[in-house]
Structure 1
C-alpha cells in the first residue's frame, strides 16, 4: 500500500505544472509557438550587429580614403591643391577640409563646389520618415544599441573643434569618428596627417545608405516574421481547436456523470480520431458505460434484496403476531418452528447478500497467486467427505498431473466456486449417485467440470440460473434453504479471473448436468 501511494505521488509530481498551472491549454500552445517566434525575432539583434559591421567597414574605408587623399594633396603643389580637392570630392563624395599647423582651415572643397551631402531637418520630412525614425529609435532601445554623439557643424571651424583631426595631427595616424545627424543617419569623419606640409586633412560624409540598407533588411525580416507569426498563430489555434474542444466536451460529460446523470449523458467516442484524445474519449465512454451498468446492477440488486427480505420478514411478523394470541402449546411450538426457520433463513440470506455485495471490491484488491487447482480440489473433497455427504452421494475426482491445472487467482474465492458447484450437484443428485469432478488442461485454458446425475438444467434457464436470487431447487427440498446467490457469486468470481462458467447436459450419461469452468493457464 505504501509503495502504491509513493508511486502515485511520484506520478503526480511528474505531471505537475509549476509556473504555468493556471494557464489554459490554448494559452500554453500559443505561448510555446510565440516563444519560438521570439527566437526568430532575435534577428533584430543581428541587424544591430550587421549595422555595426557596416559602420566599422565604412569607417575603415573613410580612413583609407583620407590617407590616400592626404598623400595626394601633400604631393601636389600648393596652388593646385584646391583644384585637386574639387576633383577628389566629386570622385569620393566626401567633404574635404585642410587645416594648417596653427589649426586654421585653409582649404574646403565646399567653398568652390556643390555640397556632397545635405543634413536633413527631421521636422521638415514626411510622416513616413518620422515613423521610420521612431521605429529605429524603439529598436535601438530594445537591442541596447550604442548611441553616437550628435553631429553639428562647429561655430568656428578650426582644427581643435574636431577631436579626430586633433588626434590625427598629434599621433601622425589616421583617426575616425562616428556621429549622428539630426535625422539619426550616421555621419562619418576621418582625419589624416599631411606629413610633408604639416597640415591635417578632414573628410566627412553623411552615410545615409547604411540606414537604407539596414531598413531594407529589417523590412524583409519583418515581412518574414509577420508571415511566420500569422501561420504560427493560425496553426496554434487549429491545434488548440483540435485538442481543447474535444477535451472540453469530455470534461463536461465527465462532470455531468459526476453529478449523477450518467444515464442521460452521452460521452463522445470520437471514432474518427486515432490519436491519444480518441483513445481517451473511447476510454471515458467505456468507463461511463461500465459505471452505468454498475449503477443499474446496484439498483437491481437493491430491489432484489428488498424483495427477498420481505418474504421471510412477513412470515416472521405473522408468526410472532399469531403467537401472542395462541394458547395451544402444539400450535405455539409450530409457530416457534416457523420463527426459527425464518430467522435462520434471514441470517443465511443476509450473509450471502453481504458476501455478494463485497465481492467486487474484494476481488479488485485481491493479489492473485499461482494455484494448482488439482491440489485445491483434492483438499476440498477430502474436507467435504469428512463433514459427511447426505443421501449417500459419492464424490469422484480425476486428479490431473502435477503442474497441469495451474492458474493465477485468489485461492479462497476459487475454492468457494468449486464448493458451490459441488454442493449444488449434491443437492440435485438422487440417493447413492456419483458426482464427478475433473480438472484438465485444454490449450491455454484449464477446464474444470462438475457432473451430477440429477434432472439437468432446461436450456431456457441456463443463463438465468447465474443471476442473483434466481433459484431452482430440487423437489422435496424445504423452502428457503438457499438464498439463490450461490451460482451468481460463482459466476462473479470466475469473471473476475477472466474465465467463463456455463452449464450443459452431460454427453456421457442419459441424464444430469455438467458445469464447466474455463480459466486462463498461469504461464511460467
Structure 2
C-alpha cells in the first residue's frame, strides 16, 4: 500500500553556475563496455583441444590395433605349439602312429628321443615326454631345440614399416611399454604354476592351470601346451611343448607401437609449436607496446600499437581491449588537462572580481559604497570556497566509489530516510516534501548508502530550490515499468519552471552554466548533477530528466515542473 509523508522544507538554493563561465569537461569516470564472454576456450583453446583429442584418438586406436596385432601373433604362436604337441603325441603313442616299432615310446627313451627329433623338425621350442609311475611324472625324452630365433616354420608376420627404428633410441623409447601393452593385458592368461607342478597335477587327475603362458626359470615368457598320452584307455604319459618365441612377438609389438608414438609426439609438437607461433609473437608485440605506453604515459596517444584487431580469436580480443584501454587513458589525460584549464577559468572569475573591488575601494567616497564592495568581496570569497570544495569532492569521487563498501540495503528505507530528514529543516514558507512508496518495502539494492543517499538528497535540494514556497516536491519509489521485477525507479518531481528542452541532457554536464531567471548568481558550482550521474552509473543504473506536462495546455504551455528519474537494478540476494 502506498504511504505518504509531508514535510516542510526550507528554501535551499541550488541554481546553475554563472552565465559567463563556459561549460567545461571534468575528468569523467571511464566507462568501459565489457565484451561478451567468449565461448569456453576460444579459438586457441579449440585448436589445442582438437590437437590433444587427435593425439588421444590416435593413441587409442593405435593401442586397439596393437592389441589385436598382439593377440593375433600370440594365437598363431600358441596354435603352432599346440600342433607340435599333437604331432609329437601321435608319434610317440603306441595307439597312434607307433613310430617306436609298434610299441609305446614311453618305455624306450632312446627311440623316444629320435622320434621327437623327427616329429619336431623345424620347431624352435622344446618338446618333452613324461610317463606316469605311481602318479608321479618321470622324464623320458625331449627333442633338441634349435637356436634359430626366427625359423621359417613360425607363422609370424613380417615386421611393420619403421620396425628398424626400434633399435637404439627406439628400444629406449618403447621398452617401458612392453609390460604395459604386452604383459599386463596378458596377466589373465599367465599361470603361476611351473611346468613340473602342472605335469604332476595332470597325472593326479587335476585339469592343470588351463593357461598356456608362463615364465621360465630365466624370467622369459613362454607358451606351453601339455597333452596327455593315452594308451589302452589310460593316461600313461604327457607331452609338453614349450616355445620361447614370445619375446619375438613382444619385439614386433614394440616395433609396431613406435610409429604411433612418433606420430603422436609429432602431432603434439606441431600443435604446440603452431599455437606458440600464433600466440607468443603477438603477445610479445603487445607487451612491448604496453611498456612504451607506460614509459610515456603523457604521450600514450603517440605510441604505435600493433594491429591484430582483424583476428577473430583471443589475440584479436586482447588487441582490441588493449587499444580501448590505451584510448581510455588518452581520454582521461586529455580530460584532466581540460579540467585543469576549466578550473583555472572558474577560479579566475571571482578572483578578478575581488581584485577589481580591492582596486576600487580606495576610490569610494562614501561608507555605503565601501560596504557594497565588501559585500561583493564576501560573496566572491564564498563562491570560491564553494567551487574549491565541490571540485575537490568531485576529483576524489572515483577513488571514493572504488573504496566505499557496498552491501544490500532496503530501497524504501534509504529513500524514506533521506526524504524524512527534511523534517529537521522545516520552514513554514518552504514547499512540502512528499514520499510515496509504491513497493512492498522488501525491495533491495546493492549500493553504497552514503553515495546513493547523496544523489537523492541532491535531487531533493534542487527540487526544493526551484519549487515555490506553496508548492510540493514529490519523491516516489516504484518498480520500473517494463522491467518486470529487475529494476526500481526513484522519481523526484518539483513544481518549478522546468528545464529547457534542449538542456534536458546537458544539465548533467560538469560546470553546467545555464540558470533560471531570478536564481542567485554564483550559488551553485554546476557539479551536483554531474556527480549524481557518475554515482548512479557506478551502481549499474541510469539517471535522466523530463519535464512534466503543462497543467492547462489551453492557456499555458510551460511545463508544470521537472521530474528526475533514477533507475537501479534490484538486488535479489536478500541480506538487508
- TM-score, structure 2 length as denominator? 0.54
Q: Deviations over 1:432-483 (max 9, x none)?
A: 66354353645255352433443x5433344333211122234455543322
Report how far residue 351 of structure 1 moved.
1.0
1:446 match: secondary structure: strand
CA deviation after TM superposition for structure 1 residue 291, in Å = 5.0
Q: Structure 1 pair 130/299, CA: closer, same or farther in 2 (3 Å)? A: closer
Q: In the alignment, what sits opposite 1:312?
A: 350
8 A contact 1:250–1:268 mirrored in 2: no
Q: Give 1:337 deviation, angstroms.
A: 3.7
Taking the aligned partners of 2:463 and 2:542, their CA distance within structure 1 comes to 18
Which of residues 230, 247, 256 is equivalent to 2:266? Answer: 230
Tell me the alpha carbon deviations over residues 228-283 of structure 1, each in whole angstroms, 9 at most, x when there is no partner.
3333333444555666667666656665655536545588666845xx87877776
2:455 to 386, 392, 414: 414
Q: Indicate the residue corresponding to 1:370 in structure 2.
A: 410
Mapped to 2, the partners of 1:407 and 1:108 lie a distance apart of 95
Distance 2:306 2:465 in 1: 42
Find 2:255's aligned residue among 219, 238, 242. Answer: 219
**Preserved contact between residue 267 and residue 288 of structure 1 (Cα < 8 Å):** no
Q: Is the 8 A contact 2:408 2:444 kept in 1?
A: no
Cα distance in 2 for partners of 1:375, 1:108 equals 108
Q: Give runs of aligned pairs for residues 33-182 of structure 1, distance below 5 A.
A: 84=115, 87-88=118-119, 90=121, 92=123, 134=168, 138=172, 142=176
Equivalent residues of 1:436, 1:452 under 8 A apart: yes
Q: Structure 1, unaligned stretches of length 5 or more?
A: 1-25, 99-106, 121-127, 146-163, 191-202
- Equivalent residue for 1:395, pick from 431, 456, 477: 431
Q: Judging changes above 3 Å, is the alpha-carbon distance between structure 1 residues 492 and 37 closer, same or farther for their aligned structure 2 residues?
A: same
Q: Does the 8 Å contact 1:395/1:436 carry over to 2?
A: yes
Note if contact 2:431-2:464 (Cα within 8 Å) is conserved in structure 1.
Answer: no
SS at match of 1:400: strand
List runs of 5+ in structure 2 lacking aligned partners: 1-46, 130-140, 151-161, 180-194, 204-213, 227-239, 483-487
Contact 1:250 1:267 in 2 (8 A): no
Is 1:516 paired with 2:566? no
Residues 174, 258 of structure 2: 8 Å contact kept = no
Q: Alignment partner of 2:268: what SS?
A: helix
Instruction: Measure, in 2, the Cα distance between the counterparts of 1:144 and 1:347.
Output: 88
Aligned length: 443
Does structure 1 conserve the Cα–Cα contact (< 8 Å) formed by 2:124 and 2:243?
no
Give 1:467's match in structure 2, choosing from 501, 509, 516: 509
Deviations 1:279-303 (A, max 9, x none): 7777666655655554444333333
Check whether the contact 2:511–2:526 (CA below 8 A) recurs between aligned residues: yes
Structure possessing the higher relative contact order (Cα contacts under 8 Å, 6 or more residues apart): 2
Counterpart pick for 1:446 among 466, 489, 495? 489
Secondary structure of the residue that 1:300 maps to in structure 2?
helix
- In 1, the alpha carbon distance for the partners of 2:170 and 2:90 equals 34
Aligned residue among 342, 347, 363 for 2:385? 347
More deviation, 284-293/513-522 = 284-293
Deviation for aligned residue 1:117: 6.1
Is 1:502 the counterpart of 2:545? The answer is yes
State the shift of 1:352 in Å. Answer: 1.1
Distance 1:367 1:215 in 2: 70
Matched residues in 2 for 1:140 and 1:459: separation? Answer: 83
Q: Structure 1 residues 81, 422: closer, same or farther in 2, change over 3 A?
A: closer
Give the CA deviation at 1:350.
0.8
Report how far residue 349 of structure 1 moved.
0.7
Q: Match for residue 471 of structure 2?
A: 434
TM-superposed CA distance for 1:502, in Å, is: 1.9
The offset of 1:217, in angstroms, is 3.0
**Using the alignment, how far apart are the partners of 2:59 and 2:378 within structure 1?**
85
How many Å separate the matches in 2 of 1:418 and 1:95?
105
3-state secondary structure, aligned to 2:565: strand
Measure, in 2, the Cα distance between the counterparts of 1:268 and 1:133.
Answer: 48
Query: What CA RMSD, in Å, does the superposition of the two structures yield over aligned residues?
Result: 6.3
Q: 1:310 to 1:381 in 2, by over 3 A?
A: same
Residues 139-288 of structure 1: matches in 2 within 5 Å?
Answer: 142=176, 213-238=249-274, 258-259=294-295, 260=297, 263=301, 272-273=312-313
> Greater CA deviation, 298-307 or 32-41?
32-41
- Matched with 2:528 is 486
